[in-house]
């Protein structure tokens, strides 16, 4: 009887261990996929704005506002998509370890990029547009330079 | 009675031999690793400060010689910030004309020797974290313009310190041997078959821009492998690989010269996502301060590489 209980306990412990390891890996993978999706959305919105800056598309305050909203909304929650343990997963990630050792500064970078995207939402003329886009771009650059490994 | 004395004699001879060999090696090591001023003659030259400033940005000098974060002199190359590498942490020097901690008292000869020979005014080898291996390719007039520009900056006192490297004295000395090997490459030459623009681009990339210091792979002795120029190398901060700059067109990275020029001018602000990781955004922001003609030249050169 006691031996059976012991065996059951060991089996249970093993199951818990396996499930939690698999769970942790899954959390990492999910977070990586989610944040890469968020970054892709931001990237597309930036391309729309860049086309205006490059004069490939006309200045349209409506388009600017929608794109800026996408960027701001995505940035608002993006810092949460880097939970502990999501430095690796089944999907390739370029996130550097410093994100998790330097968390406060990392979050601050997101906040300032978010603020720049919010400011862009109220840009209605072409004169202010360039500087506002530059501010968002600087936000992207600062954070990526520090916390992202080069892609090949 | 004879045996031990003979054995002793052999032992003594061997010991003496070993000491002699060691002495010869030490002597050779000291000879081969002594840093000497080149004794060059500096040509007369009326400095062009604007050109000096362009070269300052082309080299991205501020990227390494920046003040510690939060310092008041942000934007001035006072040095003092740390530069961590897998070899150890470096503290790049003060490039402002402060007489005691900067280059204020450096002669033009001393400046040129630092840039091309990697030798300091007090006769020590610089570690190649200071990329003199690339700056050797610079025109003397350009280096004199750069010096004049630096001398025109406000002098700032700054703390100077040795790198945190194991056995730093010996390591520094050993750089004398390393340089003998590393300096054997052909160096930059104008290619008369190519356009002036292409050559200007090649010069900026291989000389002041020192792109190869990260984008060219190194051999086992950490010497840049010229045969594989700009094929991508190890990240200096130990953060994986730095991408190749070859076949940028074929790999679909950039459409044409105008596209790559825009990328260097605006980087991620214009959606050029590949230009900001692991320190490249800072490089891009320095490049953005170059005249557009120079960026077009760099683009023309880079896009010609296959």
Nearest alpha carbon to residue A33 among A88, A84, A73, A76: A88
Q: How far apart are CA B152 and CA B74, in angstroms?
A: 17
- Please give the pLDDT value at position A13: 66
| Residues in chain A closer than 8 A to B243 (CB atoms) | 150-152
Which pair of tokens denotes residue B54? 């362009």
b (16+ CB within 10 A) / e for A2-25:
eeeeeeeeeeeeeeeeeeeeeeee
Q: How far apart are CA B242 and CA A9, in angstroms?
A: 50
The angle subtended at Cα A106 by Cα A97 and Cα B242, nearest 5°, is: 50
Q: How far apart are CA A19 and CA A26, in angstroms?
A: 10
Q: What is the ipTM of this complex?
A: 0.80
| Residues in chain A closer than 8 A to B241 (CB atoms) | 150, 152
Helix spans in B2-87 (H):
2-33, 49-59, 61-64
Q: Which of B240, B262, B270 is opposite residue A149, by nearest beta carbon?
A: B240
3 state DSSP class of B225: coil
The residues, ordered by sequence, that sit 6+ positions from B26 with a Cβ below 8 Å of its Cβ are none
pLDDT averaged per 10 residues in sequence order, chain B, 306 residues = 76 93 91 88 96 98 90 86 90 96 97 97 95 97 98 94 92 95 90 98 98 96 94 87 96 96 96 91 96 98 97
- Min Cα–Cα distance to chain B from A30, Å: 23
Chain centre to alpha carbon of residue B227? 19
A19: left (phi over 0), alpha (psi -120 to 50) or beta: alpha
Mutate one of A138, A146, A150, A152 to test the B interface: name it (highest B CB count within 10 A). Answer: A150
Mean pLDDT across chain A: 88
User: What are residue B84's DSSP bridge partners?
Assistant: B89
Q: Which of B269, B282, B284 is opposite residue A133, by nearest beta carbon?
A: B269
Alpha-carbon distances, residue B88 vs B42, B127, B161, B165, B221 (angstroms): 35, 11, 13, 5, 17
> Strand B83-85 relative to strand B241-242: parallel, antiparallel, unpaired?
unpaired
> Quick check: A54 and B232 CB within 8 A?
no
3 state DSSP class of B42: coil
Q: How many CB atoms lie within 10 A of CB B33?
A: 18
- Please give the pLDDT value at position A15: 63
3 state DSSP class of B119: strand
Q: Scan for tokens 């003329």, then name that residue.
A: A125
Q: Which of A43, A136, A149 is opposite residue B278, by nearest beta carbon?
A: A149
- Please give the pLDDT value at position B73: 77
Q: How far apart are CA B121 and CA A111, in angstroms?
A: 46
- Please give the pLDDT value at position B128: 95
Which pair of tokens denotes residue B289? 């301060």
- Please give the pLDDT value at position B199: 98
- CB contact, 8 Å: B239 with chain A? yes
The answer to whether residues A95 and A147 touch, using CB atoms and an 8 Å cutoff, is yes
Q: How far apart are CA B6 and CA B26, in angstroms?
A: 30
Between B45 and A1, the more confident residue is B45
A11-64 tens-digit pLDDT: 666 666 655 555 555 567 889 999 999 999 999 999 999 999 999 999 999 999
| Residues in chain B closer than 8 A to A47 (CB atoms) | 271
> Quick check: A96 and B282 CB within 8 A?
no
Give the phi and the psi of residue A31 in degrees, each rounded to 5. -60, -45
- DSSP annotation of B126 reads P
For the CA atoms of B225, B172, B164, A94, the dihedral, rounded to the nearest 10 degrees, stands at 0
A25-34 tens-digit pLDDT: 556 788 999 9
> Quick check: A149 and B277 CB within 8 A?
yes
- Please give the pLDDT value at position B71: 74
Q: Scan for tokens 């949460």, then name that residue.
A: A80
Nearest C-alpha in B relative to A53: B270
A70-117 tens-digit pLDDT: 999 999 999 899 999 999 889 999 999 999 999 999 999 999 999 999
- Min Cα–Cα distance to chain A from B135, Å: 25
């Amino acid at each position: 009887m006691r031996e059976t209980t012991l065996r059951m306990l060991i089996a249970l412990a093993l199951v818990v261990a396996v499930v939690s390891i698999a769970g942790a890996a899954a959390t990492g993978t999910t977070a990586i996929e989610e944040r890469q999706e968020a970054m892709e959305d931001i990237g597309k919105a930036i391309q729309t704005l860049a086309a205006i800056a490059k004069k490939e598309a006309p200045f349209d305050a409506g388009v600017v506002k929608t794109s800026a909203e996408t960027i701001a909304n995505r940035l608002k929650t993006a810092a949460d998509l880097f939970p502990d343990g999501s430095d690796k997963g089944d999907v390739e990630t370029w996130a550097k370890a410093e994100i998790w050792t330097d968390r406060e500064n990392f979050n601050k970078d997101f906040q300032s990029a978010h603020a720049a995207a919010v400011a862009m939402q109220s840009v209605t003329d072409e004169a202010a547009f360039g500087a506002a886009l530059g501010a968002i771009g600087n936000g992207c650059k600062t954070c990526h330079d520090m916390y992202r490994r080069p892609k090949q | 009675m004879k045996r031990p004395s003979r054995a002793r004699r052999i032992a003594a001879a061997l010991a003496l031999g070993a000491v002699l060999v060691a002495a010869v090696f030490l002597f050779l090591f000291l000879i081969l690793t002594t840093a000497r001023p080149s004794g060059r003659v500096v040509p007369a030259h009326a400095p062009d400060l604007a050109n000096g400033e362009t070269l300052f940005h082309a080299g991205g000098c501020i990227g390494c010689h920046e003040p510690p974060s939060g310092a008041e002199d942000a934007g001035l190359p006072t040095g003092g910030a740390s530069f961590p590498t897998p070899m150890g942490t470096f503290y790049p020097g003060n490039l402002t004309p402060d007489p005691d901690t900067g280059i204020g008292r450096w002669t033009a000869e001393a400046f040129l020797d630092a840039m091309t020979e990697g030798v300091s005014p007090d006769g020590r080898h610089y570690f190649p974290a200071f990329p003199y291996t690339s700056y050797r390719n610079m025109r003397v007039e350009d280096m004199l313009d750069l010096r004049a520009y630096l001398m025109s900056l406000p002098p700032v006192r700054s703390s100077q310190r040795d790198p945190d490297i194991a056995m730093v004295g010996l390591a520094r000395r050993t750089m004398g041997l390393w340089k003998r090997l590393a300096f054997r490459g052909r160096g930059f030459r104008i290619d008369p078959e190519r356009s002036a623009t292409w050559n200007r681009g090649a010069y900026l990339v291989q000389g002041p821009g020192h792109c190869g210091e990260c984008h060219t792979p190194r051999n086992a002795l950490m010497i840049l492998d010229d045969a594989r120029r700009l094929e991508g190398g190890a990240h200096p901060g130990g953060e994986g690989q730095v991408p190749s700059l070859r076949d940028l067109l074929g790999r679909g990275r950039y459409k044409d010269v105008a596209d790559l020029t825009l990328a260097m001018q605006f980087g991620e602000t214009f959606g050029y996502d590949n230009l900001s990781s692991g320190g490249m955004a800072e490089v891009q922001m320095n490049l953005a301060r170059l005249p557009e003609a120079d960026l077009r030249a760099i683009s023309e050169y880079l896009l010609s590489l296959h």
